[in-house]
Structure 1
């Protein structure tokens, strides 16, 4: 299966997870010249910028370990631009990482999901 389709499946799985927890998905795959944010969601208190990491397992390393300082900085800059473009957004921003572990790829019936709130600031 192509990586872009697999990645999209992971992002859709994460979005469904957030909806079940009463988040509203504001944007998916927000792109600008500075970078990309997988999901932007909001709940009662926060506007959440979400990086989704899809892995078959955590045997090599946990997915969060692939969100290094460089990636965090790119997400922060992209979020700043999003907020400038959407001044109506007045909620406190937060940066989360959602790890989706799917041992059988898109055929995984019950992927393990770990939601790391406020993963970096």
Structure 2
């Protein structure tokens, strides 16, 4: 798989997670937000929280659950990126860090990917 294919697949997974959030009443305010420390896959809000969601797409969980790939180093990059996001986009909402596991056995051809959403993951 080439880098472009991987990026396309990742964006597809993020889109699936964003749709999942919207279906539950969240307002997705940013996707793929980048800064010099990293990227925040999704930023969403409701009346109480602003959530920073790391999306992990995998074919299955045979090797390990997708959330296992959000290691301490990745968590720290997301936290720092979230701080920068909040400096540029101040919010009075409570921040929260979530992980969305998207399982798509056939990649983008998967009709109904399985989404396991973990609130307050780190």
TM-score class, shorter: over 0.9
1:32 aligns with 2:31: no
Segments of 5+ residues of structure 2 without an aligned counterpart are none
From 47, 64, 74, the equivalent of 2:67 is 64
Residue 44 of structure 1 deviates from its aligned partner by: 1.7
Query: Hey, what does 2:47 align to over in structure 1?
Result: 44
Instruction: Please list the CA deviations of residues 36-57 of structure 1 after superposition, one character each: whole Å capped at 9, or x if unmatched.
Output: 0000001121000000000000
**TM-score, length-normalised on structure 2?**
0.95
Residue 17 of structure 1 deviates from its aligned partner by: 0.3
Instruction: Please list the CA deviations of residues 22-69 of structure 1 after superposition, one character each: whole Å capped at 9, or x if unmatched.
Output: 000010000011110000001121000000000000000000000000
Local SS of the residue matching 1:96: strand
Query: Hey, what does 2:94 align to over in structure 1?
Result: 92
**TM-score, length-normalised on structure 1?**
0.96
Count of residues in correspondence between the two structures: 119
Query: Hey, what does 1:73 align to over in structure 2?
Result: 76
User: How many angstroms apart in 1 are the aligned matches of 2:89 and 2:23?
Assistant: 25
Query: Hey, what does 2:107 align to over in structure 1?
Result: 105
Q: CA RMSD in A?
A: 0.8
User: How many angstroms apart in 2 are the aligned matches of 1:118 and 1:43?
Assistant: 15
Instruction: Return structure 1 stretches of 4+ with deviation > 2 angstroms.
Output: none
Local SS of the residue matching 1:118: coil
Segments of 5+ residues of structure 1 without an aligned counterpart are none
